[in-house]
Chain A
Amino acid sequence: MQLETTINGRNVTLDFAGGEFLYETLRRYGYLSVKQGCDTSSCGLCTVWLDGKPALSCSTLTARVAGHEITTIEALQDDAREFAEYMVAEGAEQCGFCSPGFTMTVLAMKRELDNPDEAAINHYLAGNLCRCSGYKGQMRAIKKYMGVA
């Protein structure tokens, strides 16, 4: 199958198999930041933006993205760098495997939420699992990045 879509601002034509998920397609096309952590829509590692909103690329059929806009962290390197500075200052990235999907959700949160408190931050990010950090260092980094108390 074939379709046209936009990835990181570029119009592209994707070849894909029926039943293929966006995660697989993106990896195949070289967007290697996109990670997979589960098969059950549970972990958030594969989070990309679909029309500017965080979405699970592992549960999005590639066939559905025709005409939509996909954004991966490769297109948001400056924003990611800014957030990353706060993360590494806390040591909170640890193994880093969940980081790209997590960062995509954080960047979306920054655009979507105004002055969130800890509860709102946790709620927004609940779909991003991390086994290394215990989440506390991530929270310290996010609060500094968001400029919230």
Chain B
Amino acid sequence: MLFNACHKGNSYTVDRHNGINAAGLIYDRKGGTHKNNAKTFLMLQIENHLSPSTLEEAYETLTSVPGSLVLGGCGYIRLGDRTISNAIDLSNLGLNFVHGTKSEVEIGAMTTLRTIETDALCQSLWHGLLPRSVENIVGVQLRNCVTIGGTVAGRYPFSDPLTALLALDARLQFYHYGEISLEEFFTGQGLKDILVKIIIPKRGQIGAFQSVRRAKTDYAVLNAAVTKTGDDYRIVVGARPGRAVLVPEASDYLSSNGLNETTARKAGNIAAASLQFGDNPRGSGEYRKAICPVLIARALMEVHHAA
């Protein structure tokens, strides 16, 4: 079954069974394979590379010129064999920033994952949840390229930072649409719009991130992030292999019963029972279901000890 993972940023199609297909044998955007060629080459053609100087210009182009695509960090763009008639490059819009206000942190859409990893503010907040969620992604030279905006717009089901952002109750600000919660963005149809920034509330959340990976620089077989704000919990599981989701049943249980080693495990079991897990090449649904309580319990105990 194919589903389109995004509508902007790095348009990228993911096959649920084959996971992240590598360059060349990735299915094309219409979901079919070439009739007479096992594609072992890829060619990217960009007919127009536009670097608008205002968000308005970027948005106008995106909505008025057919075949327009917003470039993110381009970590995946070469995986597709395709022609982009209009590539919209947001590099010159000053969207590479991490700002803290009294109540929020704003991260510009073009901020690289490496910036998030090394930014002092990101490191100091949420028990380092956000840096923890990007540090396993391949290597510094890739993290210096790929952007948080591309990751969010891609809504990649295997993503680590998206799991963390959902646990942090992040909101997104689009140029035209305005604000939308990440949760709503995940469940919606996507937006033909320009992502400007990600807004994360500063509520004193303590966060933790856990994942199982087949090799350290591989994508997660399953990942989990939790945040604790007083007696409130947000528990998120991603790479199921479906997209990251909140597990309110588990959070509610903890809010009512408090957090200790036993309840942490119980919350994990509740999550495992209430979530859907599936098979992909990195792991079976059965295995994911088996490790889900472990990751949640470990993340919960981490926040418990940090609190």
Interface residues of A (CB under 8 A from B): 1, 17-19, 21, 38-42, 44, 47, 50, 53-56, 58-61, 63-64, 66, 101, 105, 108, 123-128
Q: Is the CB of A127 within 8 A of B217?
A: yes
Which chain B residue shows the least CB distance to A53?
Answer: B144
The answer, among A1, A18, A56, for a CB contact under 8 Å with B141, is: A56
Q: Tell whether B34 is near chain A: CB-to-CB under 8 Å.
A: no
Q: With A40-B23, A61-B74 in contact, is A50–B49 under 8 Å at CB?
A: no
Please name the 9 residue pairs, one residue from A and one from B, whose CB atoms are nearest each other, closest first: A127-B139, A39-B23, A18-B46, A19-B44, A19-B46, A63-B49, A54-B141, A19-B45, A47-B141
**CB of B181 within 8 A of chain A?**
no
Within the complex, which residue of B24, B43, B144 is in contact with A19, where a contact is CB–CB below 8 Å? B43
Tell me if B290 is interfacial: C-beta within 8 Å of chain A.
Answer: no
Within 8 Å CB of B139, what residues of A? 44, 105, 125-128
> What is the CB-to-nearest-CB distance from B134 to chain A, in angstroms, rounded to a whole number?
12
Given A56-B142, A63-B89: A40 touches B135 (CB 8 Å cut-off): no
Min Cβ gap A22→B in Å is 10
**Minimum distance in angstroms from B215 CB to a CB of chain A:** 10
Give B40's nearest chain A residue, CB to CB. Answer: A39
- Within 271-302 of B, Cβ neighbours of A (below 8 Å) are at none
- 15 new A-B contacts, CB < 8 A, other than A19-B84, A56-B142, A105-B141, are A39-B78, A40-B78, A41-B142, A53-B114, A55-B145, A61-B46, A61-B77, A63-B49, A64-B91, A105-B139, A105-B140, A127-B138, A127-B139, A127-B140, A128-B139
Bound-state CA distance A18–B43 (Å) is 11
- A-side contacts of B140, CB under 8 Å: 54, 105, 108, 124, 126-127
Asked whether, in the complex, the Cβ of A21 is within 8 Å of the Cβ of B78, the reply is yes
Q: CB distance B135 to A123 under 8 Å?
A: yes
Do the beta carbons of A54 and B144 come within 8 Å of each other? Answer: yes
Which residue from chain B places its CB closest to the CB of A63 in the assembled complex? Answer: B49
Decide yes or no whether B48 CB sits under 8 A from chain A. yes
Q: At the interface, yes or no: B216 with Cβ under 8 Å from chain A?
A: yes
A4 and B144 CA atoms in complex are apart in Å by 22
User: Looking across the interface, which residue of chain B has its beta carbon closest to that of A57?
Assistant: B141
Chain B neighbourhood of A61, CB < 8 A: 46, 49, 71, 74, 77, 87, 89
Q: B141 contacts A42, CB within 8 Å? A: no
User: B-side interface residues toward A, CB under 8 Å?
Assistant: 22-24, 42-49, 51, 71, 73-79, 83-84, 87, 89, 91, 114, 135, 138-142, 144-145, 216-217
In the complex the two chains form, what is the Cα distance from A123 to B217 in whole Å?
Answer: 10
Q: Smallest CB–CB gap between A11 and chain B, Å?
A: 19
Name 30 interchain pairs, CB-CB below 8 A, sorted by A: A18-B46, A18-B49, A18-B87, A19-B46, A38-B23, A39-B22, A39-B23, A39-B24, A40-B22, A41-B75, A41-B76, A42-B138, A44-B139, A54-B141, A56-B142, A56-B144, A59-B145, A61-B74, A61-B77, A61-B87, A63-B49, A64-B71, A64-B74, A105-B139, A105-B141, A126-B138, A126-B139, A126-B140, A126-B217, A128-B141
A137–B134 alpha-carbon span in the complex (Å): 28
Q: Which residue of A lies closest to B71 (CB)?
A: A61
Chain B residues within 8 Å of A125, by CB = 139
Give chain A residues whose Cβ lies under 8 Å from the Cβ of B217. Answer: 42, 126-127
Question: In the complex where A124-B140, A126-B216, A127-B139 touch, is A18 in contact with B77 (Cβ < 8 A)?
Answer: no
Within 8 Å CB of B114, what residues of A? 53
Please name all residues of chain B whose beta carbon is closer than 8 Å to the beta carbon of A59 when the two chains form the complex.
73-75, 77-78, 142, 145
Q: Which residue of A lies closest to B89 (CB)?
A: A64
Q: Please pick, from A41, A50, A64, the residue contacting B138 in the complex, using a CB distance under 8 A.
A: A41
Residue pair A55, B144 in contact (C-beta under 8 Å): yes
